[in-house]
Amino acid sequence: MIRSGLAAALMAAAASPAFAFPEGALLGHTGGFGEEHCAACHFGGARHDDLDLAVEGLDLYAPGERYEFFVRIADPRGEVAGFQLALRFEDGSDAGALEAVDDGAQTGDLDGVTYASHDRPQALEDGEAVWRLSWTAPDAASGPVTLSAAGVSGPDDQSPIGDSTHLLELQLASED
């Protein structure tokens, strides 16, 4: 049986481990500030806006204070998960300093914005994956900070097809 060029290309892309980004998500894919999100590369699964993606430990912030927080993805159907997030002011500029605390997470900079993301797909244990990060709030209260996060979960098959994507946006207000 002869396949069309498009069908063959789609099958090759689906089978290619390079499309799974095993070293972490491409930067600039949080879904916030006009950015694409995980569904730009992972598709075919259900999309769960903020149902299965949570950020715990960030609410209000005090200028210059350091906060440890957790990113949690829950998906009882998935086998692995990943995420990406950034914290920015209303104008889209970087707000504070992000750091990876545990293995499994990393940070990187793109166009003056620091992103935190998984550094490899994390296996879901009991339907859940968790990463620990820290954020040092900006030195001066400059208004609200927006946390934009995107996550992905799915089978551990190195294919971008059939993965579920998750989006979350939080507004952090200054205590001052």
Strands (E), the chain: 43-49, 53-56, 60-61, 66-74, 80-89, 97-100, 105-110, 113-118, 122-123, 128-136, 145-154, 161-174
Residue 34: inside a domain: yes
User: pTM for this one?
Assistant: 0.80
Q: What is the CATH number of the domain that holds 80?
A: 2.60.40.4060
Number of folded domains that form the chain: 1
pLDDT 10s digits, 82-137: 999 999 999 999 999 999 998 899 999 999 999 999 998 899 999 999 999 999 99
Question: Which tokens is 11 given?
Answer: 């099958």
Mean of all residue pLDDT scores within the chain: 82
Question: Which tokens is 90 given?
Answer: 């209303």
Residue 18: inside a domain: no
Residue 8: inside a domain: no
User: Comparing C-alpha atoms, which of 5, 6, 28, 23 is closest to residue 150?
Assistant: 28
CB 153 within 8 Å of CB 83: no
The residue range of the domain holding 63 is 25-154+164-174
pLDDT 10s digits, 32-90: 888 877 766 776 666 554 458 999 999 889 999 999 999 999 988 889 999 999 999 99
Residue 72: inside a domain: yes
Residue 106: inside a domain: yes
